[in-house]
Amino acid sequence: MGLTYKENVPDTRESPVREMVKELKEFGVEAYGYDPLLSNEEIEGFGVKALDNLDVEIKMDGVIVAVAHDEFERMTLEDMKRIMNDKPVLIEVRGTFNEEKANRKGFYYRGF
């Protein structure tokens, strides 16, 4: 979630997400991308399957929140759980969620 270079700016030129996706794909991860500031074409340019929104029927094994857009800042852990499987893995680069609360709610959580 969040593929741009920084929060609330639709600039992807120096986004570290491309490298993240490359590393994940080396491990056989099927990656999806969602960014409210980018078109599906721009998202797919990262080598991921674009999601139009987070109201999806598939359940994610893990979510990486790479950029804390305002939309993501408004999300709760319960919102995150709705899009994830029963053993959710939540990785954050920007520290949007509280680690202690995430762990109490059953997430495997790591922040960077």
- The neighbour count for residue 93, using CB atoms within 10 Å, is 16
- The ranges assigned to domains in the chain are 17-111
- The backbone torsions φ and ψ at residue 27, rounded to the nearest 5 degrees and listed phi first, read -100, 10
Element (H, E) at 60: strand 60-65
Architecture of the CATH domain 17-111:
3-Layer(aba) Sandwich (3.40)
> Which of 32, 25, 19 minimizes the C-alpha distance to 93?
19
Tens-place pLDDT, residues 20-60: 999 999 999 999 999 999 999 999 999 999 999 999 888 99
- The backbone torsions φ and ψ at residue 68, rounded to the nearest 5 degrees and listed phi first, read -90, 70
Residue 88 banded pLDDT, cuts 50, 70, 90: very high
The mean of the pLDDT values for the chain is: 94
pTM: 0.91
pLDDT value of position 95: 83
